[in-house]
């Protein structure tokens, strides 16, 4: 059997890639033990404990830039927390140990453990707030969609880029009461997680923007799409009355 050759400068990156898989695997397995027990907070805590424990074994000097909340609200994996052995590259880390806590508690599909890691200073240091989100798949020119544009305009832009009618675009919405209405595209409920909704459509682009409105007025939106496969290119819809979903 031929041996696997890894360039020296890529060795650490390869090792970390495999280790990150193990980190998310441990978080997923830990929370999965509570599937169907109706304990969403316990499921989330199990994932957080496992992910933090495994992250602290990695040869990195990591800082959580997107995590479970601010330091006074989250005891573990809070924004600004240092993780790793401190003997390794400085990295930024974004985590959601269990996206879809309700799904896990109700033993429904779609819950995931997710993590992103990059060189220090390259990930957005996002505060604990709701964000506007929009995503499409790879292969489209820059500027095809605009986070500030109405949903119907984004649908038309994407349809034009794809070379199809607007009715052939499928939009994924988070499955929440505030998300209703339509703008010419077919819609599909995308569970309760923005990351999984984007990943389900094979997206490679995930644009995020902070929102300053109060929590009562904030709304989440996520959509994804791809040049091939899945349900086709996807964009977000808007709530009735033109209020932008965040």
> Do 29 and 81 fall into the same domain?
yes
Question: Does any domain span residue 73?
Answer: yes
Which among 10-14, 46-50, 178-182, 202-206 has the top mean pLDDT? Answer: 46-50
Please say if the pLDDT value at position 14 is more than 60: yes
Summarize the confidence of residues 136-153 as an average pLDDT.
87
pLDDT value, residue 5: 66
Domain stops at, among 119, 143, 170: 119
> Do 160 and 99 fall into the same domain?
no
pLDDT value, residue 205: 36
What total number of domains does the chain contain?
2
Nearest to 56 by CA among 88, 33, 25, 30: 88
> Do 55 and 96 fall into the same domain?
yes
Please, which pLDDT band fits residue 56 given cuts at 50, 70 and 90? very high
User: What's 45's domain CATH number?
Assistant: 3.30.540.10
Question: Does any domain span residue 163?
Answer: yes
Sequential DSSP letters for 112-149:
EEEEEEEETT-S----SS-EEEE---SSS-TTSS-TTS
Please, which pLDDT band fits residue 184 given cuts at 50, 70 and 90? low
Please say if the pLDDT value at position 127 is more than 80: no
pLDDT value, residue 36: 95
For the full predicted model, state whether its pTM sits above 0.85.
no
> Do 112 and 154 fall into the same domain?
no
Choice among 133-142, 161-170, 188-197 with the minimum mean pLDDT: 188-197
The answer to whether 172 and 137 are in contact (CB under 8 A) is no
The answer to whether 137 and 202 are in contact (CB under 8 A) is yes
pLDDT value, residue 29: 96
pLDDT value, residue 129: 77
Nearest to 226 by CA among 200, 207, 244: 200
What is the C-alpha separation between 65 and 82, in angstroms, rounded? 10
Q: What is the mean pLDDT of the chain?
A: 76
pLDDT value, residue 214: 32
> Do 102 and 156 fall into the same domain?
no
CB within 8 Å of 5: residues ≥ 6 apart = none
- Backbone dihedral region of 157: left (phi > 0), alpha (psi from -120 to 50 degrees) or beta? alpha
CA count, 13 A, side-chain hemisphere, 201? 36
> Do 102 and 147 fall into the same domain?
no
Please say if the pLDDT value at position 123 is more than 80: yes
Higher-pLDDT residue of 1, 162: 162
Structural domain boundaries enclosing 158: 131-242
CA 230 to chain centre: 18
What is the C-alpha separation between 167 and 169, in angstroms, rounded? 6
Residues β-bridged to residue 91? 62, 119
């Amino acid at each position: 059997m031929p041996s696997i050759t890894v360039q020296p400068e890529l060795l650490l990156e390869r090792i970390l890639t495999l280790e990150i898989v193990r980190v998310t695997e441990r978080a997923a397995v830990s929370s999965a033990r509570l599937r169907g027990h109706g304990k969403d907070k316990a499921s989330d805590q199990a994932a957080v404990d496992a992910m933090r424990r495994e992250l602290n074994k990695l040869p990195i000097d990591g800082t959580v830039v997107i995590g479970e909340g601010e330091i006074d609200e989250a005891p573990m994996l809070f924004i600004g927390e240092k993780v790793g052995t401190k003997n390794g590259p400085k990295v930024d880390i974004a985590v959601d140990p269990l996206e879809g806590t309700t799904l896990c508690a109700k033993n429904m599909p779609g819950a995931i453990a997710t993590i992103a890691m990059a060189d220090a200073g390259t990930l957005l240091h996002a505060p604990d707030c709701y964000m506007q989100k929009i995503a499409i798949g790879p292969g489209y020119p820059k500027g095809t969609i605009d986070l500030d544009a109405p949903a119907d305009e984004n649908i038309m832009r994407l349809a034009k880029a794809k070379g199809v009618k607007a009715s052939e675009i499928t939009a994924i919405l988070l499955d929440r009461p505030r998300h209703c209405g339509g703008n010419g595209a077919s819609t599909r409920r995308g569970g309760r997680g923005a990351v999984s909704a984007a990943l389900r459509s094979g997206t490679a682009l995930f644009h995020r923007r902070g929102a300053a409105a109060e929590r009562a007025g904030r709304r989440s939106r996520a959509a994804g799409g791809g040049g091939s496969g899945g349900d086709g290119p996807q964009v977000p819809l808007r709530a009735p009355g033109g209020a932008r979903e965040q």
